[in-house]
Chain A
Amino acid sequence: MKTSRNKPRCGFDCRLNWRALASILGILVFASVSQAAKIGYLTETSWQEQAIEFWTLQQPSVRMAVLGTVLIGLCCGILGSFLVVRKLSLLGDTLSHAVLPGVAAGFLWNASKDPWVIFIGATAAGILGVALVGWIKSTTHLKEDSAMGMVLAGFYGLGITMTTMIQNMAMGNKSGLDKFFFGQASAFNGGDIQLLGIISAITILVLLFFYKEFLTISFDAGFAKGLGMPAQTLHYALMALLAFAVVVSLQAVGVVLVSALLITPAAAAFLLTDRMHWMLLLAALFGMLAGVLGAFISYLSNDLPTGPFIVLGATFIFLLAIYLGPRHGILPKMLRRRRQRKRIALENTLKAVFHLCEHGHFERRVFELKELAQERNTNLKSVEREVENLIKAHMAKVEEKDSHLEMSGQARFRLTSSGWLRACEIVRNHRLWELYLTNAAHYQVDHVHDDAEEIEHLLGEQLVKRLEDRLQNPITDPHGRLIPSREQVTV
């Protein structure tokens, strides 16, 4: 039963990449279908004017749309974080699809789009869907993902059937129902914003007051129960909050894309931090940012839909997180590796200089470049570069009387005191490790060199001290060469 422990983080990433791809495909398909899914309705102004108009927030419709999308991003970011850490990402999808029959039923109630009625209908349907998943899981031996997949599609099918029926019925104001499929931030009115504000406030307050409880049940539900926490109640509270958030987000991003809004900002935050409270804050921030970004881009032109751009904004943030994240990001990892390679190259040059000194019984400290090239077994050009790097790191200098010469085979250089110390350290690491392998780990003498070539760059001061103690402050390595003593290294 080794489960998550051995699973690499990459599995998680791949799944999300797939999700991002699906979102983009979804937009390509639906953007052409959905009309009027935008905030601005002006036609003859340039995009610069539109941009200014957007950021100055003069238009009430802009203010409404920005406020709406920001609140949605906030709610979804926070609640989605719990889905991501509990490996329940598919549940967001299930919820968002399961609410559709409820939306239709709410619309049928009085043949209008009263936000409160639709909200109640949708929430009820969503919770019913989640409960159904739980019921299937507990009464059959089907696993949760199968149950979610079925409920998701079943409810969605029912929802589409109902909305199609409504649209074919002879009713007055039936427009606006299709926006639940694709989302339309421009349709926010005062009532919607009020509802959104209330849901956001409840979400934040509940999580503020019960943060430690939600943290504990998410990490270790059994332990939480053992502490006397009402784990079941808390779980359902979280599900109810999620249902609320999904339902209020539908208007802006639509059924299909709302799960991306739950998961993408949270996933981006997960890549950037190792602490839950930071993840919640970051996810909320990313959600809000995506909301504004989506609202803004869709405002620029008439044929740009809001919902997909919010999701695209979130996906963009996620891609940045993958690429730039300080710990797990691709770019910083690359830079770290490069820095490491550079350091190892530097240390190898220093070691070669030490060997040159050793060959001359430490009587000569100034060497020509071509001597080093011979020792390193490479050409002059690369040795030039290596010594230049040493000089840059203040570990070597060119002999003064040669300084008028360009770097050439005859150019002579010597190590500075810091360069010398470092060279001694590296050689010392190398020889200590060889000795450790032969004496303590019983390797053959001719097997130890290659291993030491790697380890010499990795040993820290602490470890070296422990090696010395273990080997009782040795003087020579297994090949009979002197190990540069600590005094030599530190003085």
Chain B
Amino acid sequence: MQEAKTQSIAKSSAKSLPPLEIHDLTVAYSKRPVLYGIDLEVPQGSMVGVVGPNGAGKSTLIKAIMGLLPVASGWIKVFGKPFQTSVTRVGYVPQRESVDWDFPVNALDVVLMGRYGRLGPLRRPSKSDKEIAMACLEKVNMHAYAKRQISNLSGGQQQRVFLARALAQESDLYLMDEPFVGVDAATEAAIIEILRELQSQGKTLIVVHHDLTTAPDYFDRILLLNMRVTAFGLTKEVFNFENLQTAYGGRLSILSEVALSRAQKKLEGDTHENISE
């Protein structure tokens, strides 16, 4: 009853307040700015691909939103409030390399961590928490590996466990740092399927992505980043050669240029179809 109430409140406030709003954000590592003057407002229900060259500050942006890095200036609001007061509404998938996979936990233990934010201190996970964690593992097709120690999983399986943990958070905004690194094509397809399902439930996703060729297929919005926001908007409108050249500073390789022009043609084809319909 109470839960339903808070949910309805959450829903109504979600409509009025954007999931993520960033104003004039500057983040610096020992005085050297990595992100500079970022302005961003992400509408609810969008799936944003964050794209940019190495060192553009993609992961830094995610970490800054999470409050993991000190902000030099500007502010970030998550559902209209500072991150710390809306932690339970944000799910997080860190880079796979950020943890030690020899750690003595099994896959279910890791997914269960996703429930801890809702539990708060001094409370142990209940039976229903465990059931939810198990259901999340099932969603990423990993339930058969629930009791496996995590170092015995392949890279793609580990990534799916991380995704399941984020699902267990049952959040409204998801931040994902390179969820497709080191996974095979089948896993990538499975993950993108799950992300689309989340989006269809009205959740907002912000995904750091390194593959320019798949980016326009996966995301309905693109954030082109290189220390500053080069472009942000609907994929159809901003994912073009000029913007990418600006973001990558003319450092696009021939390969990605070719791939890009193909992707763009495909996008144009899509719009034609839409028009003819």
Within 8 Å CB of B105, what residues of A?
Answer: 215, 219, 274-276
Within 8 Å CB of B97, what residues of A?
Answer: 1-3, 5
Within 8 Å CB of B109, what residues of A?
Answer: 215, 275-276
B residues 66-96 near A (Cβ < 8 Å) are: 66-68, 84, 87-88, 90, 92, 94, 96
Within 8 Å CB of B67, what residues of A?
Answer: 225
Q: How many residues of A contact B (CB 8 A)?
A: 33
B92 and A226 within 8 A (CB): yes
Docked complex Cα distance between A3 and B99 (Å): 9
A374 to chain B, nearest CB (A): 44
Docked complex Cα distance between A3 and B88 (Å): 30
| CB nearest to B118 among chain A residues | A227
A209 and B116 within 8 A (CB): no
A residues 208-234 near B (Cβ < 8 Å) are: 209-210, 212-213, 215-216, 218-220, 222-223, 225-229
B66 and A225 within 8 A (CB): yes
Docked complex Cα distance between A209 and B94 (Å): 27
A46 interface residue per 8 A CB criterion: no
Within 8 Å CB of B110, what residues of A?
Answer: 219
A275 and B106 within 8 A (CB): yes
B192 interface residue per 8 A CB criterion: no
B125 and A212 within 8 A (CB): yes
Docked complex Cα distance between A87 and B100 (Å): 9
A4 interface residue per 8 A CB criterion: yes
Between B104, B105, B113, B125, the greatest number of chain A beta carbons within 10 A of the residue's beta carbon is seen for B104
Within 8 Å CB of A218, what residues of B?
Answer: 103
B residues 96-151 near A (Cβ < 8 Å) are: 96-106, 109-110, 113, 116-117, 119, 121-122, 124-125, 149
Within 8 Å CB of B196, what residues of A?
Answer: none
Contact of B84 among A2, A223, A228, A278 (CB under 8 A): A228
A216 and B113 within 8 A (CB): yes
Contact of A210 among B98, B100, B121 (CB under 8 A): B121
Docked complex Cα distance between A87 and B149 (Å): 18
| CB nearest to B67 among chain A residues | A225
Docked complex Cα distance between A452 and B100 (Å): 37
B228 interface residue per 8 A CB criterion: no
Within 8 Å CB of A209, what residues of B?
Answer: 121-122
Within 8 Å CB of B94, what residues of A?
Answer: 220, 222-223
A88 to chain B, nearest CB (A): 11
Given A1-B97, A3-B97, A228-B87, check contact A275 B68 (CB 8 Å).
Answer: no
A273 interface residue per 8 A CB criterion: yes
B116 and A219 within 8 A (CB): no
A290 interface residue per 8 A CB criterion: no
A residues 173-223 near B (Cβ < 8 Å) are: 209-210, 212-213, 215-216, 218-220, 222-223
Within 8 Å CB of B88, what residues of A?
Answer: 228
- Between A and B, 27 residue pairs with Cβ closer than 8 Å are A1-B97, A3-B97, A4-B101, A5-B97, A5-B101, A9-B102, A209-B121, A209-B122, A210-B121, A212-B116, A215-B109, A216-B116, A219-B99, A219-B100, A219-B105, A222-B63, A223-B94, A226-B87, A227-B117, A228-B88, A228-B117, A274-B104, A274-B105, A274-B106, A274-B149, A275-B104, A276-B105
Given A215-B109, A219-B100, list of 15 further CB < 8 A pairs? A3-B100, A4-B100, A7-B102, A9-B102, A212-B119, A215-B113, A219-B110, A222-B68, A222-B98, A223-B94, A227-B113, A228-B117, A273-B104, A274-B105, A275-B109
